[in-house]
Chain A
Amino acid sequence: MLTLTSDIRTPYHRLRAGVKLAALCVATVALFWLDSVPGMAAGLTAVAALYLVPGWRFLREGIALLKPVWFFVALVVVWHAVMGQTMAGLIIALRLIAAVALANLVTMTTRFDDLTDVVMWLLTPLRKLGANTAPLGFAIVLVVRFIPVLMDKAHKLIDAWRARSARRVGWQIALPITLIAIDDAEHVAEALRARGGLTPPQDP
């Protein structure tokens, strides 16, 4: 399954996922405290330095992940320049790049399973209170499995349409795709119930 985790091994991979998430929270709050252009520039330089520790290739990979942000950066800078507040615009733009880049850094260097474990750990208080948190873990696994299955079935239906009709595939294809998916979900639910279900066994 496609993920955003980087193939390049970095020292950050060895850090605990929970530690990285906590550090990310602190750093993002700090970015909002640095409210000047030199401060933000220093912050962004620090983030770039973090990306440079594993090397140039890692930095380039990080910059590629920032692609969706550039449009907003340009928008903010131009908008504030027109309003005569160029400095304020620069601060916001720099903060935006730094904050997104920091969060991406955690995503790039942390395995999906490790993050899931952090989520389950954060739910410990709920478990102590008697809530059953196992269904959440199960639901995560189900979605990850459903996505490729759904795509596969959608492709098969689209092929079937193309084989029989000269017209382009239209939105009507959405109904049979959803129907097949719902029928599958009902079968999975039935199979789960037949194998004992998700509720923990009750003491008699």
Chain B
Amino acid sequence: MERQITLIALFAALIAVLGLVPKFTLASGIPITAQGMGIMLCGTVLGARRGALAVLLFLGLVALGLPLLAGGRGGLGVFAGPTVGFLIGWPIAAFVTGWITGQMRNTPVFLAALIASIIGGILVPYIPGILGMTAMLDMSLTQATVSMAPFIPGDLIKAGLAAALTASLYKARPASVLSRA
């Protein structure tokens, strides 16, 4: 139990630290950050349940007022803003990513983590994210979906990095990759 809690806390901290990696902003405004990669890693390394808990812990600290979201955002205000759907999607994303990684035990780690990150870490958070934007900004579904397209290349790079990192971690510290343990 102590080990699970420290690892969950560690990955919550890792999401926060990845948010400090310098961002590059695309024309559509929401910055591209490494934070999304942290969400994927929570799933691929910690597994479904613990990964989701790590993301929830991170979001809880953001809600309590720590400026941990990329760009130094935080506080209760972000949960009243138009990107709230993505925040809701993150714990689900970590859960699905972890679940898929766990299901593909017989696939090489890199491939399993890559597929899990693309489905769980990219597709899943966009569903509540887009629904949130249509609800908060009164846009049409297609409009909101189209406006997300420029983010996909960056997301694919993040999924590739998350998968590579998970595979190397599995080689160096197999016992710490709980999704496979």
Contact = CB atoms under 8 A, between A and B. Distances in A.
A126 to B, nearest CB: 15
What's the dominant secondary structure at chain A's contact region?
A: helix
A154 B77 CA distance: 30
Contacts of A84: none
Nearest to B171: A175
Contacts of A198: 1-2, 5
A189 B7 contact: yes
B14 A107 contact: no
Interface residues of A, number: 66
Interface string A67-110: 01101100110011000000011001000100111111011101
Q: Contact residue range for chain B?
A: 35 or more
Contact of A154 (B8, B17, B41): B17
A69 to B, nearest CB: 6
Interface string B77-88: 111111000000
A157 interface: no
Contacts of B81: 68-69, 72, 96, 100
B76 A106 contact: yes
Interface in B131-177: 136-139, 143, 161, 165, 168-169, 172-173, 176
B77 A92 contact: no
Contact of B137 (A4, A68, A72): A72
A3 B2 CA distance: 28
A143 B77 contact: no
Interface string A14-31: 000000000010001000
Nearest to A62: B77
Contact of B165 (A104, A112, A174): A174
B75 A103 contact: yes
Interface string B111-126: 0000000000000000
Contacts of A140: 57, 60-61, 64
A68 B71 contact: yes
B80 A147 contact: no
Contacts of B14: 150, 178, 181
B23 interface: no
A119 B14 CA distance: 23
B80 A112 contact: no
Contacts of A75: 29, 137
Interface in A170-204: 171, 174-175, 178-179, 181-186, 188-190, 192-193, 197-199
Interface string A39-79: 00000000000000000000000000110110110011001
B6 A142 contact: yes
B58 interface: yes
Of A24, A151, A188, A199, the most chain B CB neighbours within 10 A belong to A188
A36 interface: no
Given A104-B77, A174-B165, A182-B10, A197 B71 contact: no
Contacts of A186: 3, 6, 176
B13 interface: yes
B65 A4 contact: yes
A38 interface: no
Interface of B: 1-3, 5-10, 12-14, 16-17, 20, 29, 41, 57-58, 60-61, 64-68, 71, 73-82, 136-139, 143, 161, 165, 168-169, 172-173, 176
7 contacts: A4-B66, A24-B76, A69-B82, A142-B5, A143-B12, A178-B41, A182-B169
Q: Which 6 A-B pairs have the closest CB atoms?
A: A107-B75, A146-B13, A142-B9, A103-B76, A189-B3, A99-B80
